[in-house]
Amino acid sequence: MGKTWRLGPPLQAPEETADPAPSAPHRSSSTNTVVLHGADLYRMNCEGCHGESGLGAPPEIASIINPVRSTSVALVMQRMKSVGADVSRAQATELAGQSKTALLQRIHNGGQDMPSFSYLNDFEVQSLVAYLNLLAGVPNAAARQAAVSESHARVGELIVKSTCHTCHAATGPNPGPAELAAGAIPPLATLTSRVSRAQLIRKITVGASVNMGEVPDSLRGRMPVFFYLTETEAADVYGYLEAYPPSDSINPPGAVQVQNAQSAPTTGSARPPEGTRKRRDAEPADSANRTWFLYLSLGVLGLLAVGIVFTQREFRRLSTEAHMRRSLRTHLVARALPIVARQNNSWVVEKTSRRPIALVPTGRKPQASSAKRLKDWWCPEEFGDAC
């Protein structure tokens, strides 16, 4: 990714490789702005991989033409009709809306090999998508072009994040000639200490040799030439890295801190008030998972609490019913003894108290133990369902 397939001119004689002096002094990024159109945003963010025409380099880099064309209702209806599948305008509108949503998500989130462009604000994305429609041949796309006003530091930031950072890491050790020959790529944090502004401008726009190897020698190097970037834009890259060197910070300084009057559309809708521009903030990838896990944990705890309460209530209910059954059985037996004694000649009531405390068989000796006597008279067959 980020390759233009141009490696710069062949090596020249030593007297011809001197670094040219800058044509003009570098302008302050805080007082100067530049107007960028959608084509400029495409050059800085997309052309390094997808090429000037947007066709890419299949199969490694896909074309962006068909995904953009699928966002047009007219082109969707035309395409479906060409394959013999007539669709209504409402259906085509729905399909085009889904394609546009997928395109914006891809720009914001990136893909398997495509980096994320979440640092682009809404106005920049609007201008970029308008140019993509023009590049893809969407009807009436020329009337929807828009431009944005950017600071020079913002221009440098766009190029660094979209093009340079594809190959160069933000931080890391500064490689020597032998490491460069082995394939090491210098980090962006050490770039301003390795080369001057003029050297970087030359390296980006026309190419320059690099000293590398076990025995340092001037060789062409592996960095491609970004011929579509101007010298001013290359200087903006150096100015951005110089003013805001990359770091390992989670929230490094970006365009919001750099720009004073940035990204206001010059065509289309009315200019919004200063300070009302919104930026897309990427949410943590696992925030939804944490929320889902929290709800699941609360649900499990709730089910456990309900189970414990239900178990306690059932235990109490069963204990109460068992106690009531034992009390009712004793009461029924005590009430039924006199009745049974009068009807059964083989049983007599104890003569001491004349109360049906226990019955003993006729002709047998009364039992000494009241518990044993209770066992002798208890017979389910005699009392039936009354007990």
pLDDT at residue 268, as a whole number:
42
Instruction: List phi, psi (to 5°) of 348.
Output: -130, 155
- Cα–Cα distances in angstroms (integers) from residue 57 to residues 109, 112, 161, 188, 287, in the given order: 21, 16, 21, 26, 36
Cα–chain center distance at 353? 90
Closest CA to 139 of 86, 69, 80, 88: 69
Q: What is the mean pLDDT of residues 60-87?
A: 91
Closest CA to 129 of 60, 54, 61: 54
Closest CA to 136 of 37, 42, 5, 48: 42
* Rounded Cα distance, 233 and 152, in Å: 8
Per-residue pLDDT at 370 exceeds 60 = no
> For the segment 128-155, what is each residue's pLDDT rounded down to a tens digit?
999 999 999 999 999 999 999 999 999 9
Burial label for 342, CB within 10 Å (0-12, 13-18, 19+), is exposed
CB neighbourhood size of 10 (10 A):
8
What token pair was written down for 309?
Answer: 């309460």
Per-residue pLDDT at 91 exceeds 90 = yes
* Rounded Cα distance, 60 and 113, in Å: 9
* Rounded Cα distance, 244 and 239, in Å: 8
* Rounded Cα distance, 383 and 338, in Å: 12
pLDDT at residue 209, as a whole number:
87
Closest CA to 226 of 244, 190, 199, 202: 202
> For the segment 177-235, what is each residue's pLDDT rounded down to a tens digit?
899 888 899 999 988 888 999 999 999 999 888 888 888 888 878 889 999 999 999 99
Tell me the pLDDT band of 243, cut-offs 50, 70 and 90: very high
Listed range (112-116, 250-254, 329-333) with the worst mean pLDDT:
250-254
Rounded to 5°, angle at Cα 291 from 289 and 292: 65
Question: Reduced to 3 DSSP states, what percent helix, strand and coil does the chain have, rounded to the nearest 5?
Answer: 50, 5, 45
pLDDT at residue 6, as a whole number:
52
Quote the mean pLDDT of the chain.
Answer: 76
pLDDT at residue 376, as a whole number:
47
